[in-house]
Amino acid sequence: MCGIIGYVGNKPAAPLLLQGLARLEYRGYDSAGLAVADWGGLTVCKRQGRLAVLEEAVKGLHLPQTVGIGHTRWATHGRPSDGNAHPHVSESGLFAVVHNGIIENYASLRRELEADGVVFRSDTDTEVVAHLLEQVYDGDVKTAVFTVLSRLTGAYALGILCADRPGELFAVCKASPLVIGVGAEEQFIASDVTALLPYTRQVIWPAEGDVVRLTASDCILWDATGQPVCRQAEQVMMEAMAADKGEFPHFMLKEIMEQPAALEATLAPHLTDTGVRLEELEGLFADWRQVHRLVIVACGSAYHAGTAAKYQLERLTGLPTEVDLASEFRYREPPLNPYTLVVVVSQSGETADTLAALREAKRRGAPVVAVVNVAGSTIARESDRVLHTQAGPEVAVATTKGYTTQVAMLGLFAVWLAHKRGSLSAVQGTSLLHALQALPAVAARALEQPHLCRLAEKLARQEQVYFIGRNTDYAVALEAALKLKEISYIHAEAYAAGELKHGTISLIEEGTPVVALACHRGLQQKLLSNIREVTARGAQVVTVTTEEQAPLFAEEGEVLILPDTPPLTAAVVEAIPMQLFAYYVAKARGCDIDKPRNLAKSVTVE
Ligand code: F6R
């Protein structure tokens, strides 16, 4: 959360900082700010609200300075306000700081500084860094930075300006993402490589604890012990993210519609005429029959993708498969060994809890495979092996194509692993291969939902919606409920259909909407009974099912019909109309769909 950007070069910094912030705004949008430096000192402008408010404020200023830092905030300490917006400046205006992460010991540092007479202007944890820098500074910024770092605990990526050094930009990263962009006579820092792509593709990933000093022509790094260190620049192959929504009113709708192409790009490189190829994983185990357990670890929608995959992995490979929330896994002391394969799943590749879970798994001796969308992200770099989803950049805060490509990649993995372990018959293998080959086209058909908009408008005034399902339908119910609540602010809950009667059914009353996900072959009769249990109590039911099974549900209220799809790919096909449903409900309620309140795209604090 929070995006930081920095520039030093020969061009005016402010417009470049604003452009960079526009590409980072998905990380937080409570407030935004920038600071620029020249021999006249530091100039700071910051505003509560979206970036557009800052852009408006900056219009009236003359800002020719060629070095600067910028920030877009997702509030952790202190509510959104002008005062709590970054950059934070030391008392005499000598240092300006932008920060992504959390300074965990800020309260004791603040008490200490206040006892020394320092007056704080914000409620943030970050402000202590600016004051500490000024307190220890004796003319050498590098030494001041290292002295201050030795006092901080927590996670931080920092961008630092010093009014005494207006041609220099300092940065630090510890447990928070930061990348350096190397240009011709200009250098950048950013929280995310996508912010740099319009300017340079040469990047350096600082290591944990590195301190960086950038000038227009030079980049110097010191490792955490203060020793000069050389880190190789790498060429980034990604395409710059599309800056506009094209014909679409929202990025979310654009990204929903892009799913057939994203699925094709994710699957095609791994499908041959005869089977599934995952060269990235070859050699991780000499014999894949040595694996005795799988643990999938992720957060949010990625956790739901893992939940859907669990059913397929157990069914196809016979391996016990657990799915855990990264925030729980990292602190629960899970028993792991070299034969437990841990699979971490993350669109951004920067989610703090998932990254910590990855590190914990490695510390406990388990090999880690990552399913990641953003190439070069921290999770991709730290995992033993990486399976790259090819969703392309996802801008809308609520994930859509990120999630479905994760499910597709995990499906590929399930088939590949089953083959490696000899648990698939030739006939099964061929039919699974056909399912994967057909998925992009079936996903395209799932997008065609002429009645969905009307249905969404009908339900848009409800206060609560329940989603029920069994097996992978339950996994999709979890994702459908999350999508609806995060963008429409309607209270939505997902239940394993058989579980509802163990308590929650008491909430069902006349008119309560229940969406029954009923695509899983073999459990339709069971689900039908669960539907009857809620209709008997007055629920208005919408059933989502396939062409093949639709006749069974014809009497059960509204029915949304999807193309037939086998269990391996059902969680992708079924999720698509649920994304559209959430989108249309949020639209009917006038919500800010691409940037829902309180959220940020990349959750880099725990
Ligand atoms: C929901 C959503 C989040 C993310 C979660 C994990 O729409 O986007 O729940 O899925 O924050 O993010 P990644 O996949 O980047 O680790």
Topology (CATH) of 452-588: Rossmann fold (3.40.50)
**What tokens does 329 get?**
């896994």
- Supply the pLDDT for residue 34: 98
Write down the pTM of the prediction. 0.84
> Which of 167, 419, 398 shows the shortest CA–CA distance to 300?
398
Interval 365-395: pLDDT, tens? 999 999 999 888 899 999 999 999 999 889 8
**Start-end of H helices in 150-296:** 251-257, 259-267
Nearest Cα residue to atom 7 of ligand 1: 398
406 lines ligand 1 (CB under 6 A): no
Q: Which residues contact 333 (CB under 8 A, 6 or more apart)?
A: none
Distance between CA atoms of residues 155 and 208, nearest Å:
10
Beta bridge partners of 38: 41
CB of 300 closer than 6 A to ligand 1? yes
Report the relative pairing of strands 219-222 and 88-89 from DSSP bridges.
unpaired
Look at residue 393 in the predicted model and tell me its pLDDT. Answer: 86
| pLDDT at position 245 | 81
Instruction: Calculate how far, in angstroms, residue 52's C-alpha sits from the geometric centre of ligand 1.
Output: 25
469 lines ligand 1 (CB under 6 A): no
Ligand 1 centre and the CA of 399: distance in Å? 6
Question: Domain map of the chain by residue range?
Answer: 2-242, 248-446, 452-588
Closest ligand 1 atom to 483 CA: 7
Question: Do the domains spanning 2-242 and 452-588 agree at the CATH topology level?
Answer: no
List, run by run, the mean pLDDT of 10-residue segments along the chain (606 residues).
94 97 88 96 96 95 97 91 97 97 94 97 96 97 97 94 97 92 96 89 93 97 96 80 74 95 96 94 97 98 98 97 97 94 96 95 97 91 96 92 98 97 94 96 92 91 96 98 97 95 92 95 90 94 94 88 94 97 96 89 76
**Residue to mutate, 301, 407, 605, ligand 1, most ligand atoms under 8 Å from C-beta:** 301
Task: Report helix angle 127-136 to 141-149, nearest 10.
Answer: 130
d(CA 8, CA 168): 7
Mutate to test the pocket of ligand 1, among 348, 406, 579 (most ligand atoms within 8 A of CB): 348
Find the 352 Cα to ligand 1 centroid distance in Å.
Answer: 11
**377 CB within 6 A, ligand 1:** no
Choosing from 310, 401, 420, 601, the catalytic residue is 601
Examine the residue annotation and report whether 601 is marked as an active-site residue of this protein: yes
351 Cβ closer than 6 Å to some ligand 1 atom: yes
Indicate whether residue 399 lines ligand 1 (CB < 6 A).
yes
So what's the pLDDT on residue 238?
66
Residue 360: both structure tokens together? 């914990």
Which ligand 1 atom is the nearest neighbour of the CA of 379?
16
Q: What residue type is assigned to position 491 of the chain?
A: H
* Pick from 325, 281, 264: nearest CA to 416: 281
Return the CATH number of the domain spanning residue range 248-446.
3.40.50.10490
Cα separations (Å) of 511 from 452, 461, 557?
19, 12, 12
Domain 2-242 fold is: Glutamine Phosphoribosylpyrophosphate, subunit 1, domain 1 (3.60.20)
Report the 10 Å Cβ neighbour count for 315.
16
539-596: pLDDT as tens digits: 999 999 999 999 999 887 899 999 999 999 999 999 999 999 999 999 999 999 999 9
Which ligand 1 atom is nearest residue 304's CA? 10
Q: Ligand 1 center to residue 429 CA distance, Å?
A: 31
d(C-alpha 140, C-alpha 124), whole Å:
26
Please name the amino acid found at residue 1. M
Note whether 116 and 107 are within 8 A (CB).
no
